[in-house]
């Protein structure tokens, strides 16, 4: 696995190998590190469907509306690199802030409709940061396909729409949510749950599946000890964000 740290280095590697890469496909999985089985399921999908796979690890500060979340974000880089090497990833892109944002985030991508709803309504500026970093990474990597988990379904929809709106060559592929055996969507945030909260957390998924409507889902979540931010239906999905103690969980399920 080649570890590449700047956009210029990545372009150089691609230029040197351009003959070798001719008629070959590149898959891409953008991450912020702290890799878990959900990330690795995306990596496996990319490895299966492409000749080469690139993964990025970059904790993007501009998408955090709460600085405490950014400062507390786990750093497991050594373990992450080991996992990616074991998975046989070809390229790891590991940039610094100054390389990604030489403009200091003066230029950004703003979506003024879907990004204002659901998670966006509670996290101002979050999706501006997400869309901006994803477009930058798409331009640097130049992948044929990029893989996103459907747990963050609003993010997936926004990234997919952005790529299509700007006629980007990278096709955005949504992948089913990776879950624990009890149904809880896999997330690095799960590690912050207490043992008692961890027992309750799978109820989010069960209630989203079983509730007759959004109102009933909110009521059932409160009875289980959650503090719901929202439960809403759109695009054939029931989506929710809810706090369990100090941990914010999100999930969604298909509906008829």
Give the catalytic positions in this structure.
39
Give the CA count within 13 Å in the CB-facing half-sphere of 133. Answer: 25
Q: How far apart are CA 178 and CA 38, in angstroms?
A: 5
Q: How far apart, in Å, are the Cα atoms of 137 and each of 26, 54, 122, 182, 251?
A: 13, 11, 25, 34, 25
Strands 91-93 and 227-234 turn out to be unpaired
Angle between helices 153-165 and 126-141 (to 10 degrees): 50
Which among 93, 32, 92, 28 has a CA at the least distance from the CA of 58?
32
Q: How many residues does the chain have?
A: 256
In contact, 187 and 149? CB cutoff 8 Å? no
Q: How far apart are CA 178 and CA 171, in angstroms?
A: 21
Strands 145-149 and 91-93 turn out to be unpaired
């Amino acid at each position: 696995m080649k570890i590449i740290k700047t956009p210029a280095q990545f372009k150089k590697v691609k230029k040197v190998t351009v003959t070798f890469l001719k008629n070959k496909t590149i898959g891409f999985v953008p991450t912020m590190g702290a890799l878990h089985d959900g990330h690795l399921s995306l990596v496996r999908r990319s490895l299966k469907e492409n000749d080469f796979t690139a993964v990025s690890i970059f904790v993007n500060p501009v998408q955090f509306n709460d600085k405490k979340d950014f400062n507390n974000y786990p750093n497991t880089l050594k373990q992450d690199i080991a996992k990616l090497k074991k998975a046989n990833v070809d390229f790891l892109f590991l940039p610094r802030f100054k390389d990604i944002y030489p403009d200091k985030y003066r230029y950004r991508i703003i979506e003024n409709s879907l990004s204002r709803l659901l998670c966006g309504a509670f996290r101002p500026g979050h999706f501006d940061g997400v869309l901006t970093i994803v477009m930058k990474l798409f331009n640097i990597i130049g992948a044929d396909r990029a893989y996103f988990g459907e747990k963050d379904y609003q993010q997936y929809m926004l990234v997919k729409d952005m790529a299509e709106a700007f006629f980007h060559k990278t096709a955005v592929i949504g992948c089913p949510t990776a879950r624990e055996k009890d149904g809880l969507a896999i997330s690095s945030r799960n590690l912050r749950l207490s043992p008692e909260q961890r027992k309750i957390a799978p109820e989010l998924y069960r209630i989203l599946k079983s509730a007759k409507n959004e109102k009933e889902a909110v009521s059932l979540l409160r009875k289980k000890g959650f503090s719901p931010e929202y439960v809403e239906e759109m695009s054939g999905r029931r989506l929710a964000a809810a706090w369990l103690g100090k941990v914010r969980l999100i999930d969604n399920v298909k509906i008829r």
